[in-house]
Amino acid sequence: MRNPLCSLASRLPGEWPAAAAAHRGNCLRCQAEAARARTVRRGLAALADDVFPAPGSLKTAVLRGLGKQDAADARRALVARIAARHAAAAGLAAATLVALGAGLLRRHSRALG
Amino acid sequence: MTAGEVQHAEEELLARARTGDREAFGDLVGRYQDTVYTLALRLVGPDLAADVAQEALLRAWRALPRFRGEASFGTWLHRITVNTAWTLRKRARRHAAEPLETDVEDRGLLPERAGELAETRAGLRRALAALTPGQRAVVVLRDVYGWSNAETARELGITEITAKVRLHRARLRLRTLLEGAR
């Protein structure tokens, strides 16, 4: 029967807990599993050497589509938009508070008068 | 040309392209179009790869004045490609696993790559094609291109934990698929 630690160890992402690591040190099944995992990772890394030729028309299509360049940082525009949105929300909240305060004051002065 | 001379020539092309020189950018496109296309092919499959590569190179042209050279031009282009691939894939709503490089593998393989190595690679490509798009993107960026978890998560717009979990599941699935293929 398969040791539960074997299946646990093979299913844990990232760093292995000490118990699972100690188990793997003594378990031939887990060592074989780890070796298979390494083989797959090596195979995947080797795929990086395969380069597929782009379609012949790609460069022409890109050069035909070139428009203006944009030196402005898109992130700044985004930050400015977010800041404007927050400022508008804050303004609205302040106006609501002022209106509420004024209403309360009016009620208070009416009650006194 | 030595590696240093190639680097120098590329820096000159970049400097010219940054100021709007289309011819210089054309030379850069010639140098990088195959790697950009290959990455796109691995991420989104043959149906969308050419569109992704074209859009990524156009985005790179537009953003070139902002390229500060903190990473290499190739790395920067790859980031743009990943970003573009993700945007176009979402737009195309092709969430189901699609046939990927298996359609084009013969085109890229040279005769001397025949044999066991080519078979292993073909098996891996088929297994990669069977992953979900999210798992495939993580495993391609981490295990094929050697990106860090942080970079992968940032460019795909997911948390590092999600990236790690997807990677782990993808590796398990790849092993199962490869063992099933034997």
Nearest to A52 among B37, B145, B165 (CB): B37
* Neighbour count for residue B35 (Cβ, 10 Å): 18
User: Looking at the whole model, is its pTM more than 0.80?
Assistant: no
Chains A and B form CB pairs within 8 A to the count of 115
* Residues 36 through 55 of chain A touching chain B, CB cutoff 8 Å: 36-37, 40-41, 43-48, 50-55
Lowest-pLDDT range of A11-15, A17-21, A80-84, B33-37:
A11-15
Q: What is the CATH number of domain B113-182?
A: 1.10.10.10
Chain segment B17-49, per-residue pLDDT in tens: 999 999 999 999 999 999 999 999 999 988 899
Helix axes A28-47, B116-129, angle to 10 degrees: 90
Min Cα separation B52/chain A (Å): 11
Q: Which residue has the higher pLDDT, A77 or B62?
A: B62
Mean pLDDT of A71-83: 72
Is residue A82, in this structure, part of any structural domain at all? Answer: yes
Is residue A58, in this structure, part of any structural domain at all? Answer: no
Domain count, chain A: 2
Residue type (1 letter), B59: R
A71 touching B, CB under 8 A? yes
Q: What pLDDT sits at residue B84?
A: 94
Is residue A24, in this structure, part of any structural domain at all? Answer: yes
E strands in B28-178: none
Is residue A63, in this structure, part of any structural domain at all? Answer: no
Is residue A67, in this structure, part of any structural domain at all? Answer: no
Mean pLDDT of A53-82: 83
Chain segment A31-47, per-residue pLDDT in tens: 888 888 888 888 889 88
| Inter-chain residue contact A40 with B57, CB threshold 8 Å | no
List the single best residue of A36, A41, A50, A75 to mutate versus B (max B Cβ within 10 A): A50
Chain segment B95-124, per-residue pLDDT in tens: 454 444 444 444 444 455 456 667 778 888
Closest by alpha carbon to B59, among B39, B76, B75?
B76
Closest by alpha carbon to B110, among B126, B121, B99, B125?
B121
Among all chains, which residue has been given the structure tokens 């066991």?
A: B116
B11, B29, B77, B81, B98 from B52: Cα distances, Å: 25, 14, 12, 7, 16
Is residue A89, in this structure, part of any structural domain at all? Answer: yes
Give residue A101's pLDDT band: very low, low, confident or very high (50, 70, 90): very high
Is residue A85, in this structure, part of any structural domain at all? Answer: yes
Range of the domain at A36: 4-47
| Inter-chain residue contact A44 with B144, CB threshold 8 Å | yes
